[in-house]
Amino acid sequence: MKSKKYLVLLNHEINELLIDFICSFIKQNKSIVYFVYVIEIPPKYPIEHEEQNLILIGQSVLKKVHDILLDFNIDYDINGENFILIQSRSIGVGIVKEARRLDIDIIAYSKKVNFELNEHNYIKKYAKTTILELNNL
């Protein structure tokens, strides 16, 4: 069986239950998991505009996830390809583009703490992949 590639959507609130759930896929199925944090850039700024405080928040979130993975004896390189910080005009657009770039099999997120409903709907509509929407995590 081919191992699956997961893209896990993160935001400023770390959802440890979601990360715990995904860790089981990493360990049991030898799946490859990418953790992505999207910085949404308002249209009034050029897309390459760097909002330093938002970058620091994103880096902090990715570091916290890395620490959780280490607790599970999963040693992904914090500077490697599995931890992704991107900028986009829209979170949904950024996620869909990243999923296509990485040829992702499954996009996973927790509905309770991630994105507004319209971002969920955008991802569901345009991502050409399976969506794993975990409710109330």
- Each domain of the chain, given as residue ranges in start order, spans 7-134
**Residues 81-120 pLDDT 10s:** 999 999 999 999 999 999 999 999 999 988 764 455 677 7
136 pLDDT band, cuts 50/70/90, is low
CATH of 7-134, one of 2.102.10.10, 3.40.50.261, 3.40.50.620, 3.50.40.10: 3.40.50.620
Residue 93 amino acid letter:
V
Question: What per-residue confidence (pLDDT) applies to 11?
Answer: 84
Higher per-residue pLDDT: 33 or 15? 33
Structure tokens at 132: 């794993």
Question: Does the global pTM surpass 0.85?
Answer: yes
Share of the chain above pLDDT 90, in %: 60
User: Please, are residues 26 and 52 in contact by the beta-carbon 8 Å criterion?
Assistant: no
Instruction: Name every residue whose Cβ is closer than 8 Å to that of residue 67 and which is 6 or more positions away in sequence.
Output: none
